[in-house]
Amino acid sequence: MNAAAQRILTINGGSSSIKFAVFDPTDLSRRELHGSIERIGLPGTLFVAKGPLPDDNFFRSIEVADHSAAAAALTDFITDRLGQGNLAAIGHRVVHGGPTYSAPQRIDAEMIAKLGALSAFDPEHLPEELRLIEAFHKRFPDVPQLACFDTAFHHDLPRVAQLLPIPRRYEGLGVRRYGFHGLSYTFLMEKLSELAGPKAARRRIVLAHLGNGASLAAVHDGKSVDTSMSFTPTAGVPMGTRSGDLDPGLAGYLAHLENMSSEQFSEMANSHSGLLGISETSSDMRVLLDNEAHDGRAAEAVALFCYEVKKRIGAFAAALGGLDTLVFAGGIGENAPSVRARVCDGLGFLGIDLDAARNNRTAEVISSETGRVKVRVIHTDEERVIAQAVTHLLASAGEPKGS
């Protein structure tokens, strides 16, 4: 197959999932094939795919114990669908770039070693992402792989937003606010410029990426000014299973009360907290909204999530000196009108006023005509950002071959 017919594969690995998409590099406006493997390492692992052919569309259970086994199932599918020699490149979302990486780059042995050393920065994601990179290298050894870093959007945060109030010597070890969801925020800013014009995209903006992982970013003049996540993606607002911000004294208290180790504390904060911890039933906002009328724990989980997001919008409006645009994105932000309404309720003093009918039908603009702040819902697309970066890197490098 000639170069024009080759495809770009994007891989978005999470702590218990792998999302993938296949793009024609000559037309990145649509995905030719996409899907995911969900609940990796848990009962009921699902492989979902959607594409133009009947065999590309399925929703089936598979048995995989870890990301390596899931990657094997995915590479089998990709090889069967595209053939061994029809990939131009593979682009990976890498959650943490640490202090070293701030732009998309070709993956090589040096990067693998440095990312391995950074694994302690984000033990929930980086080790699994490295296993995915290795698995795809073994199956497609001659296909270049490229890394797109979720921290890159926030790399040049103002100094005051980067600093963490702990002894200064730790900054020399790379301890600072990094921020995440950068690929999503990159897409949202590009889309906002397209929808509202470049001038609007350079004003005072709060982006709310609300999903199983949730964060907010304050953006001015197109640059990140502050963001809710910090050194790791655990910080910020409550999420599906992550706690968000916690009093650091809690670690010592639980160590005394339950002899909880630091590893156990991390497991609790990342995998058993947030919506799941408060509700004691589910990390899925859809389930909690369905149950809140008859389950007080579910209602409290929803209320806490909306309250914390609302507080962060207020704080970021203060950091920006006002607010011109609020954007909702992510699985919750795009699909839960009642959550958007609750988050915005009481923010009239900032100029936020939702139009109930527009919000309920998830219109592109959900603010009222009289609201000073334009409130939008934008479907985010991290995979397209990865594909764009890969296409650019391939073009600038003369379409390198080999790995």
DSSP per position, 187-234: HHHHHHHHHH-HHHHTS-EEEEEESSSEEEEEEETTEEEEES--SSTT
* Mean pLDDT calculated for residue range 12-18: 84
| CATH number of the domain to which 103 belongs | 3.30.420.40
Asked if residue 169 belongs to a domain, the reply is no
Residue pLDDT, tens place only, 283-337: 999 999 999 999 999 999 999 999 999 999 999 999 999 999 999 999 999 999 9
Asked if residue 401 belongs to a domain, the reply is no
Domain match, 350 and 205 both: yes
Which residues does 263 contact at the CB level (< 8 Å), separation at least 6?
none
Confidence band for 399, pLDDT divided at 50, 70 and 90: low
The 3-state DSSP class for residue 252 equals helix
Of 99, 132, 149, which residue sits at a domain end?
A: 149
Pairing of the two strands 205-210 and 214-220: antiparallel
Give residue 56's pLDDT: 86
Distance CA 191, CA 278 (A): 35
User: What is the residue-averaged pLDDT of the chain?
Assistant: 93
Instruction: Kindly tell me if the per-residue pLDDT of 162 is higher than 60.
Output: yes
Active-site amino acid positions: 150
Give residue 5's pLDDT: 62
Domain match, 268 and 336 both: yes
106 token code pair:
């070709």
Asked if residue 162 belongs to a domain, the reply is no
Domain match, 199 and 93 both: no
Which residues does 107 contact at the CB level (< 8 Å), separation at least 6?
92, 133, 144, 145, 146, 147, 403
Which residues does 241 contact at the CB level (< 8 Å), separation at least 6?
212, 270, 271, 272, 273, 274, 275, 276, 277, 283
Residue pLDDT, tens place only, 36-74: 999 887 788 999 999 988 888 999 999 888 888 999 999
Give residue 372's pLDDT: 98
Q: Count CB-CB contacts under 10 A for residue 164.
A: 14
Give residue 398's pLDDT: 66
Domain match, 108 and 15 both: yes
User: In this predicted model, which residue has the larger pLDDT, 30 or 161?
Assistant: 161
Of 104, 129, 149, which residue sits at a domain end?
A: 149
**Domains held by the chain: number:** 2
Gyration radius of the chain over CA positions:
21
Go through 300-330 and write b for each residue having 16 or more CB atoms within 10 A of its CB, e for each that does not. Answer: ebbebbbebbbebbbebbebbeebbbbbbbb
Give residue 403's pLDDT: 36
Domain match, 226 and 317 both: yes
Q: Provide the percentage of residues in the chain whose pLDDT is more than 70.
A: 97
Asked if residue 385 belongs to a domain, the reply is no
Domain match, 126 and 186 both: no
Residue pLDDT, tens place only, 88-141: 999 999 999 999 999 999 999 999 999 999 888 888 889 889 999 999 999 999
Give residue 43's pLDDT: 81
DSSP 19: E
Asked if residue 239 belongs to a domain, the reply is yes
Give residue 326's pLDDT: 98
Instruction: Kindly tell me if the per-residue pLDDT of 401 is higher than 70.
Output: no
* Mean pLDDT calculated for residue range 262-287: 96
Residue pLDDT, tens place only, 188-235: 999 999 999 999 999 999 999 999 999 999 999 999 999 999 999 999
Domain match, 224 and 333 both: yes
Asked if residue 177 belongs to a domain, the reply is no
Asked if residue 397 belongs to a domain, the reply is no
Domain match, 249 and 362 both: yes
Residue pLDDT, tens place only, 232-245: 999 999 999 999 99
Say what the pTM is: 0.94
Domain match, 79 and 30 both: yes
Domain match, 218 and 138 both: no
Domain match, 232 and 338 both: yes
Task: Tell me whether residue 189 is exposed, middle or buried, using C-beta atoms within 10 angstroms of its C-beta: 0 to 12, 13 to 18, 19 or more.
Answer: buried
Domain match, 212 and 129 both: no
Q: Count CB-CB contacts under 10 A for residue 367.
A: 22
Asked if residue 34 belongs to a domain, the reply is yes
Contact (Cβ atoms closer than 8 angstroms) between residue 125 and residue 96? yes
Closest to 281 measured CA to CA, from 267, 268, 299 = 299
Go through 103-130 and write b for each residue having 16 or more CB atoms within 10 A of its CB, e for each that does not. Answer: ebbbbeeebbeebeebbebbebbbbbbb
- The number of residues making up the chain comes to 403
Give residue 41's pLDDT: 78
Its domain, for residue 66, covers 3-149
Of 99, 128, 149, which residue sits at a domain end?
A: 149
Instruction: Kindly tell me if the per-residue pLDDT of 402 is higher than 50.
Output: no
Residue pLDDT, tens place only, 76-95: 999 998 877 789 999 999 99
